């Protein structure tokens, strides 16, 4: 099992290697774990012991102090081996940074120190696709009421960040919740056909006590409510979505290639001339593989461009203006849309290169399609394409919306 080296020995260059070791570890039993569909308690423990849960926490707050480029690389690497765990980790990274985007510096520092000290796994959900929870003022802070049908890491998270509405005004707020508090009741209806180990499930909140300083800040899309820096939360989240998709696509392509190399092909066309090392492969298989490689590499290049834009925008801090934020959001939306198309194409067509043997359940090739399709169904790429079209034709800034 991969374990984290001593803090003073870890550099930015080490984390991709640690992620690769973790991915290799997960790959050894990925099919069996996915088919069992148990809550990812062991998987979260593996991530924690490898030091990956505190990757984005600044070093001065007790974390690894790695940057966003590294976090995206880690998620993509893990997703290639186990898509659901990669998705869980991407959700964790984004939600663990919620205080950084929406709260003041003092609250963000406190939350990050506590997260690093406890090795917290983060879950929750900030998307606006469901009726919000209700946050009612009480004597000791607030009481949280309601139900969310889609909560990431519902049964394994140490902390949740959820969307709640302020009574009267309806203003949406990001709220930090300890799931061990009385009144937090995970459901039992997380029965999706894919992304099983991402631990999505419903959660009931029955008069859950919330301290005043655990109300992190507003999520209102109204003009002037959020700073341009806070609005970077949306592209940051979309790029985790894109990296998950690219990881899944690359993982299936790699497994299909290894299977094809190891297995005796069930058919071959008559070769026009001898192929080095044996008969020539089916030219249609070669063409399919070439098209899929182009799709993934094109989407990957766009994702890299969007990550660089995000890193530059984050470095601007509160000096960031609306136009710079919009350009970053446009690139992130384009990257997510391209990654969606790539993963849908790969998971649909890659098995053509494998042949009939791909249907054997023991290989688990179907898990890549199921993980990808579950994700793209919950975050339709058509919305990103519409935003890109509006920006291209009219210069409209993408609306502030957070994905699941």
Secondary structure class of 338 (helix, strand, coil): helix
- What CA–CA distance (Å, rounded) separates 241 from 91? 9
Count CB neighbours of 28 within 10 A. 10
Residue 92 domain-assigned?
yes
- 127 in the same domain as 117: no
The string of pLDDT tens digits covering residues 370-395 is: 889 988 887 777 888 999 999 999 99
Residues 107-116: what's their mean pLDDT? 97
- Under a CB-based contact definition with an 8 Å cutoff, are residues 341 and 295 in contact? yes
Count CB neighbours of 127 within 10 A. 16
User: Which pLDDT band holds residue 201 (cuts at 50, 70, 90)?
Assistant: confident
Residue 281 is predicted with a pLDDT of 63
Burial of 290 (0-12, 13-18, 19+ CB in 10 A): exposed
User: How many domains does the chain divide into?
Assistant: 3
For position 79, which CATH number holds? 1.10.540.10
Residue 223 domain-assigned?
no
Q: Above 80 in pLDDT, residue 36? A: yes
Q: Which residues pair with 232 in a beta bridge?
A: none
- Under a CB-based contact definition with an 8 Å cutoff, are residues 208 and 196 in contact? no
- 65 in the same domain as 34: yes
- What CA–CA distance (Å, rounded) separates 223 from 238? 21
The two three-digit tokens of residue 96, written as one number: 């663990």
For position 175, which CATH number holds? 2.40.110.10
Residue 270 is predicted with a pLDDT of 45
Domain residues for the domain of 320 are 228-266+280-394
- 237 in the same domain as 169: no
- 84 in the same domain as 141: no
Q: ∠203-206-212 over CA atoms, to 5°?
A: 100
Q: Above 80 in pLDDT, residue 54? A: yes
> What is the residue whose two structure tokens read 């299909």?
256
The string of pLDDT tens digits covering residues 342-371 is: 999 999 998 887 777 777 777 778 899 988
Instruction: Report which of 168, 100, 162, 154 is spatially closest to residue 129, judged by C-alpha positions.
Output: 162
Last residue of a domain, one of 121, 143, 164: 121
- What CA–CA distance (Å, rounded) separates 25 from 388? 39
Q: Which residues pair with 53 in a beta bridge?
A: none
Q: Above 90 in pLDDT, residue 136? A: yes
Q: Above 80 in pLDDT, residue 273? A: no
- Under a CB-based contact definition with an 8 Å cutoff, are residues 200 and 190 in contact? yes
Residues 25-35: what's their mean pLDDT? 90
The string of pLDDT tens digits covering residues 202-231 is: 899 999 999 999 999 999 989 889 999 999
Please compute, for residue 235, the number of CA atoms within 13 A of its CA located in the half-sphere on the CB side: 33
Please give the residue that has the higher pLDDT: either 168 or 209: 209
- What CA–CA distance (Å, rounded) separates 106 from 79? 33
Total residues found in the chain within this entry = 404
- 112 in the same domain as 16: yes
Instruction: Report which of 11, 91, 97, 105 is spatially closest to residue 51, judged by C-alpha positions.
Output: 11
Q: Above 80 in pLDDT, residue 161? A: yes
User: Which pLDDT band holds residue 267 (cuts at 50, 70, 90)?
Assistant: very low
Q: Which residues pair with 159 in a beta bridge?
A: 122
- 336 in the same domain as 253: yes
Residue 378 is predicted with a pLDDT of 79
Residue 128 is predicted with a pLDDT of 83
Residue 182 domain-assigned?
yes
Residue 404 domain-assigned?
no
Q: Which helix (H) or strand (E) holds 210?
A: strand 201-210
Residue 155 domain-assigned?
yes
How many percent of the chain have pLDDT more than 90?
A: 67
The string of pLDDT tens digits covering residues 305-322 is: 999 999 999 999 999 999
Residues 156-170: what's their mean pLDDT? 93
User: Which pLDDT band holds residue 335 (cuts at 50, 70, 90)?
Assistant: very high
Q: Above 50 in pLDDT, residue 275? A: no
Count CB neighbours of 269 within 10 A. 12
Last residue of a domain, one of 56, 88, 121: 121
For position 288, which CATH number holds? 1.20.140.10
Residue 400 domain-assigned?
no
C-alpha separations of 311 from 10, 72, 146, 233, 400 in Å: 21, 11, 36, 12, 18
The string of pLDDT tens digits covering residues 68-98 is: 999 999 999 999 999 999 999 999 999 999 9
Residue 264 is predicted with a pLDDT of 47
């Amino acid at each position: 099992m991969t374990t984290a080296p001593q803090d003073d020995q870890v550099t930015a260059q080490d984390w991709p290697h640690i992620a690769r070791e973790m991915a290799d570890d997960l790959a050894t039993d990925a099919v069996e774990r996915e088919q069992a569909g148990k809550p990812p308690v062991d998987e979260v423990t593996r991530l924690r012991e490898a030091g990956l849960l505190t990757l984005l926490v600044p070093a001065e707050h007790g974390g690894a102090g790695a940057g966003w480029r590294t976090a995206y690389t880690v998620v993509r690497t893990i997703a290639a081996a186990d898509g659901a765990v990669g998705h869980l980790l991407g959700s964790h990274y984004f939600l663990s940074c919620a205080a950084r985007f929406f709260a003041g510096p003092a609250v963000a520092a406190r939350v990050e120190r506590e997260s690093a000290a406890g090795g917290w796994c983060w879950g929750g959900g900030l998307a606006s696709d469901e009726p919000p929870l209700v946050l009612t003022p009480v004597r000791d802070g607030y009481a949280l009421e309601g139900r969310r049908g889609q909560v990431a890491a519902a049964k394994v998270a140490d902390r949740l960040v959820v969307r709640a509405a302020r009574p009267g005004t309806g203003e949406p707020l990001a709220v930090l919740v300890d799931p061990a508090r009385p009144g937090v009741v995970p459901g039992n209806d997380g029965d999706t056909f894919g992304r099983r180990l991402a631990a999505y499930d419903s959660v009931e909140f029955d008069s859950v006590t919330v301290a005043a300083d655990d109300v992190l800040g507003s999520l209102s899309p109204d003009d002037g409510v959020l700073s341009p820096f806070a609005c970077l939360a949306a592209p940051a989240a979309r790029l985790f979505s894109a990296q998950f998709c690219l990881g899944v696509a690359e993982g299936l392509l790699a497994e299909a290639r290894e299977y094809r190399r190891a297995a005796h092909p069930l058919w071959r066309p008559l070769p026009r001339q001898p192929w080095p090392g044996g008969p020539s492969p089916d030219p249609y298989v070669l063409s399919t593989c070439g098209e899929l490689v182009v799709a993934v590499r094109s989407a990957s290049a766009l994702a890299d461009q969007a990550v660089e834009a995000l890193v530059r925008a984050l470095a601007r801090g509160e000096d960031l203006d609306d136009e710079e934020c919009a350009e970053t959001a446009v690139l992130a939306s384009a990257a997510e849309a391209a990654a969606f198309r790539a993963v849908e194409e790969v998971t649909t067509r890659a098995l053509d290169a494998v042949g009939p043997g791909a249907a054997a359940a023991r290989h688990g090739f179907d898990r890549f399609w199921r993980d990808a399709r579950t994700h793209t169904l919950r975050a339709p790429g058509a919305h990103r394409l519409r935003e890109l079209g509006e920006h291209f034709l009219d210069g409209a800034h993408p609306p502030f919306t957070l994905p699941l």
